[in-house]
Structure 1
Amino acid sequence: MNMRISAGELTERSLQIIRDLKHLEGPMLPILHAIQAEFGYVPEEVKPVIASELNLSRAEVHGVVTFYHEFRDHPAGRHVLKLCRAEACQSMGSDRIADHARQLLGIDFHQTTLDGAVTLEPVYCLGLCACAPAAMLDGEVLGRVDEHCLSEIVAGLSR
């Protein structure tokens, strides 16, 4: 996705997505997912367009975007590393893994490294509880993640 997009093109592309999906029952979530897939995040400028097209208030759209952790309000890095924060993973050491990730990357959750390589996000259950602690890198789930494994993953992302 080209990050240098004009406001007019942003609106036009968003309107096309909205119009393609607004016939669905409960269309806001599919629309938000499609917009994030298109732009890498849900731009603030798009929220009033969604609201207008769905006959909702801007507050309703903003509320949905901020309620769900999956939606971003800014572009992510080239890679997205999600670490499971649910109970099963916590019991297997995910807090230690999270601390290690923050130290290796020099960022906290919901932040992106200065070089734009990695965004670190918490996720609350990847469904890989039997292989805890779990992570997800660019949509691929990883089980039994330890500090050594995480160090190798992070080293490979900065290339």
Structure 2
Amino acid sequence: MPNEMLHLPKVDCLLKRYKGSPGALLPILHEIQETIGYIPDAVIPEIAHALNQSQAELRGIISFYHDFRTTPPARHILRLCRAESCKSRGAEQLAAQLRERLQLDDHGSSADGNISLRPVYCLGACACSPALELDGQVHARLNAERLDALLDACREDA
């Protein structure tokens, strides 16, 4: 039995709590992801049935929002800002450094499941560009050396 099946009773309780609430889908999806770490395929039919929506509609919504995951997350999630302010201060060079060092594309995860790389288009740290978010913590005024130190810390933590 897949590990996510252990969490389905929590999903049942969650669906009962939101039953009949307008606009319940996004809060349900967020809470499932916070609880399980991602939105497993096994819960899609249950959610669709509870909200009287098709599975295709749910999958479309999940794929539209870039923060939803349908697979278990990597141990470390690195989100590099690619907005104009960060680009003008060297984010593209940092992105190239990340791709080379991690051997990933901009939306990849390392083979060992340790680091996931995702671009974002504003972290709200424009005055301190370039910036990235690592496991929810923003690191600003980034340079190549500081980026290498962050990556080394992630690898040591593996």
Question: TM-score, with normalisation over the residues of structure 1?
Answer: 0.89
| Amino acid aligned to 1:151 | D
Q: Identify which of 31, 38, 51 aligns with 2:28.
A: 31
Tell me which residue corresponds to 1:18.
Answer: 15
CA distance in 2: counterparts of 1:101 and 1:138, whole angstroms: 16
Q: Which amino acid aligns with 1:135?
A: L
Q: What is residue 117 of structure 1 aligned with on the other side?
A: 114
Spell out, residue by residue over 1:72-100, the C-alpha distance to the aligned partner (whole angstroms, 9 max, x if none): 12111111111112222112221111111
Look up the match of 1:139.
136
The question of 1:86 aligning with 2:83 is answered: yes
Post-superposition CA distance 1:126-150 (Å, at most 9, x none): 1111111110011111111111111
Q: Alpha-carbon deviations, 1:106-132, whole Å to 9, x = none? A: 222332212221111111211111111
Aligned to 2:3: 5
Q: Secondary structure at the match of 2:3?
A: coil
Of 41, 45, 58, the match for 2:42: 45
Could you tell me whether the CA contact under 8 Å between 1:89 and 1:134 is conserved in 2? yes
**Residue in structure 1 matched with residue 155 of structure 2 by the alignment:** 158
Pairwise CA distance, 1:54: 1.0
Query: 1:19 offset after TM fit, Å?
Result: 2.5
**Structure 1 contact 89–132 (Cα < 8 Å) conserved:** yes
Shift of residue 37, structure 1, vs aligned partner: 1.2
Q: Hey, what's the Cα distance between the residues in 1 that align with 2:149 and 2:104?
A: 17
Moved more, 136-145 or 114-123: 114-123
Letter in structure 2 aligned against 1:142: H
Structure 2 portions without partners, runs of 5+: none
Across the aligned residues of Structure 1 and Structure 2, the Cα RMSD in angstroms comes to: 1.7
Correspondent of 2:61 among 64, 67, 77:
64
Residue aligned with 2:77, SS: strand
User: What TM-score does the superposition give when structure 2 sets the normalisation length?
Assistant: 0.89
Question: What is the alpha-carbon distance in structure 1 between the residues aligned to residue 39 and residue 106 of structure 2?
Answer: 18
Shift of 1:23: 5.3
| 1:158 counterpart SS class | helix
Identical residues among aligned pairs (%)? 41
